[in-house]
Chain A
Amino acid sequence: MSVVLQGVRKAFNGSPILAIERLEVPKGAQKVITGTSGSGKTTLLNVIGGIVSPDAGAVTVAGTELTALSEPARDRFRAEKIGLVFQTFNLLQGFSALENVLLGMLFAGKTDRARAQGLLERVGLQDRMGHHPSQLSGGQQQRVAIARALANRPEVILADEPTGNLDPKTGATIVDLLKEICRESGATLLLVTHQPNVMQSFTDVTDLKDLNR
């Protein structure tokens, strides 16, 4: 299994957000978690990504129990094994597309310029490597973010509403690219969205409320 959640509980200000008895995502799977706004989809990804610690339960990603790691070890694990794609792209503004991808490699301890360039070529940005985020369209920025997420050959890609800030046509292209690129690399894709058109392109769709017991 690529991702396993066992008895995970998370509450904010006393309000329970997550209460997942068990969630298993097989290696190489492409799974969508859906749910209404505020239902805890982002929190779920943050828990799996080691960004937020659960109040209880165990989170295992790529065979490593994240909940047993210290914070610095979790940071290192996230850098090496998890790729993140956000709704708002979250590229660093002062850096070029290529540098944003290299930044994705920096904290895993290995910056490989050739690989970064190759990834940007793979997402169709061979002519935009030196461009800064402000010089790129939303779709292009999300492509940079995808290239960055793949920088360290992660085992899991966590995508949080990756089409939320894109028009439907660009969104569909990005989703296709994500799926295709994860298939090529063998990475597990866990995507959260509330957009029906995105859900429709996946076969494995689970509503968060069905996970929360």
Chain B
Amino acid sequence: MSLWTIVLRNLAQRKLSSALTAASVSLGVAVVVTVLALKAQSLEGFARCARYHLVVGPKGSALQLVLGTVYHLDELSATMPWARYKELAAHKAVKFAVPISVGDQVGGFRVVATTDAFFDLEIEAGRPPEIEGRRFKFNAEQLEHAMAGHGEGHEHGGDFEAVAGSTAAKALGLAVGSPLLASHGLADGGEKHQETWTVVGVMKPTGTPHDRAVFINLDSFYGIRDHRAAARLSAVLVEARGGNAPDQLRAEINDWPDAMAVKPSLVIEDLFQLIGKVDILLLAVAVLVIVVGAVSILVSIYNSMAERRRAIAILRALGARRTTILSIVILEAAALCFFGGAAGLFLGHLLTAVASRVLSEGAGVSISAVSFDPRELGILAAVVLLGVLAGVVPALRAYRTDIADGLSPSS
């Protein structure tokens, strides 16, 4: 038997109001936790995927270029000259340059045409993507041949091979040896190409947008009649040679009339700063919900004081000090906020798990729903403090309870 026994028993005696008031606090906390977790983790998740020093593409929207090349999300309707890729590949500040072209899809998953060097690009420090099977064969000569406007489809004689991302492979039922038919355009239902690719590898899950794409050799992409138009490509992923090279290179490229270079990490930061304004609004609403919850706790406990007058007088008659009664009532409010807050943390992670699934399915960026943010302890502490403040008013009323009046038969 302790004060906590009294506190918990008092809360249990008012089950419905205790549950409802704690629930309102939990909802607010859940939204706060979800917003913070999604913001922090999606920023981290998106930034993790934006490892390339530079993305070089046609002049236009930097965000569209990054979303289209790094995250396989947006459309890339414009193209840049193939000659610019050649120039970049030969540039002394460039460690390596990987050309990509997009414009096809299979079963709703983006087809990314690139070179085998793409698989050397790390998905995290020191770790390029792992492939079950093998990389596709890339034939540079065939590509040059196609870019020069020769050959058509299989007639060009190259290999039509594909490596599928893990999610795409699972969804499309692709395995090593599977045939693959791509359709024109990025929306599902486009006209099918006549060519058939063979899946030669399936990527192990990377937790990046790679999982939701299918990669084909660039020479096969330009071996198709529809694509062999004008020796142009969608973008080039560039790794520069350390130091200030990325910035200098970016400045140099941005002087070109027909291409631009962007740092994906900066573009993503800008995007999140923009989204941050919405976050603040959501957080403000969530904090308001928590405050309303705390006020409802205040009102609920305050209103219960009249019916609890005798119980308080009994405790006082048994020797409880006024300050003990004060503590009991404040602890009740704090406990409601603690339970609501703790439930809110759990609910918040549950919501994050749902959002994580949506984000993973939509953008291929995986975030963790169980990762604990130390700020959550701060949120819980703040909510409990709010509970203490909410408990002060009814506690003072309880503090003033006169024992003799409270015990009189009429009370």
Residues of A participating in the B interface, judged by any CB pair closer than 8 Å: 42-43, 46, 49, 51-52, 71-72, 75-76, 78-80, 84, 86-88, 90-95, 99, 102-108, 111, 148
Q: In the complex, what distance in Å separates the CA atom of A87 from the CA atom of B314? A: 13
Query: Among the listed A80, A84, A93, which residue makes an inter-chain contact with B13, where contact means beta carbons less than 8 Å apart?
Result: A93
Q: A107-B318, A107-B319 are in contact. List 5 more A-B contacts (CB 8 A).
A: A51-B404, A71-B322, A72-B322, A78-B318, A107-B315
Residues of B participating in the A interface, judged by any CB pair closer than 8 Å: 1-3, 5-6, 9-10, 12-13, 310-311, 314-324, 403-404, 407, 409
Give the chain A neighbours of B2 by CB distance below 8 A.
Answer: 106
Tell whether A79 pairs with B403 under 8 Å between CB atoms, given A94-B13, A111-B1: no
Give the chain A neighbours of B10 by CB distance below 8 A.
Answer: 94
The 3 closest A-B pairs by CB, nearest first: A79-B319, A107-B319, A102-B1
CB distance from A56 to the nearest CB of B (A): 18
CB distance from B171 to the nearest CB of A (A): 56
Tell whether A92 pairs with B1 under 8 Å between CB atoms, given A78-B319, A79-B318: no
Q: Are A76 and B319 in contact (CB under 8 A)?
A: yes
Among B1, B6, B321, B323, the most chain A Cβ lie within 10 Å of the Cβ of B1
Q: Can you give 17 contacting A-B residue pairs, CB < 8 Å?
A: A43-B404, A49-B317, A52-B403, A52-B404, A71-B322, A75-B316, A76-B321, A78-B317, A84-B317, A87-B409, A90-B314, A92-B314, A92-B315, A103-B6, A106-B320, A107-B319, A107-B320
Q: In the complex, what distance in Å separates the CA atom of A199 from the CA atom of B314? A: 27
Give the chain A neighbours of B319 by CB distance below 8 A.
Answer: 75-76, 78-80, 107-108
Q: In the complex, what distance in Å separates the CA atom of A103 from the CA atom of B407? A: 17
Give the chain B neighbours of A148 by CB distance below 8 A.
Answer: 318
Q: Are A103 and B404 in contact (CB under 8 A)?
A: no
CB distance from B314 to the nearest CB of A (A): 5
CB distance from A55 to the nearest CB of B (A): 14
A87 — nearest CB in chain B belongs to which residue? B409
Q: Are A88 and B409 in contact (CB under 8 A)?
A: yes
Q: Are B316 and A106 in contact (CB under 8 A)?
A: no
Tell whether A46 pairs with B404 under 8 Å between CB atoms, given A78-B317, A88-B409, A90-B310: yes
Q: In the complex, what distance in Å separates the CA atom of A90 from the CA atom of B314? A: 6
Give the chain B neighbours of A108 by CB distance below 8 A.
Answer: 319
Give the chain A neighbours of B321 by CB distance below 8 A.
Answer: 71-72, 75-76, 107
Q: Are A99 and B1 in contact (CB under 8 A)?
A: yes
Q: In the complex, what distance in Å separates the CA atom of A43 from the CA atom of B319? A: 18
Give the chain A neighbours of B3 by CB distance below 8 A.
Answer: 106
Give the chain A neighbours of B310 by CB distance below 8 A.
Answer: 90
Give the chain A neighbours of B404 by CB distance below 8 A.
Answer: 42-43, 46, 51-52
A149 — nearest CB in chain B belongs to which residue? B318
Q: In the complex, what distance in Å separates the CA atom of A102 from the CA atom of B2? A: 9
A116 — nearest CB in chain B belongs to which residue? B1
CB distance from B46 to the nearest CB of A (A): 52
Give the chain B neighbours of A92 by CB distance below 8 A.
Answer: 311, 314-315
Q: In the complex, what distance in Å separates the CA atom of A43 from the CA atom of B407? A: 12
Q: In the complex, what distance in Å separates the CA atom of A42 from the CA atom of B317? A: 13
A88 — nearest CB in chain B belongs to which residue? B409
Give the chain B neighbours of A80 by CB distance below 8 A.
Answer: 319
CB distance from B317 to the nearest CB of A (A): 6
Q: In the complex, what distance in Å separates the CA atom of A105 from the CA atom of B6? A: 13
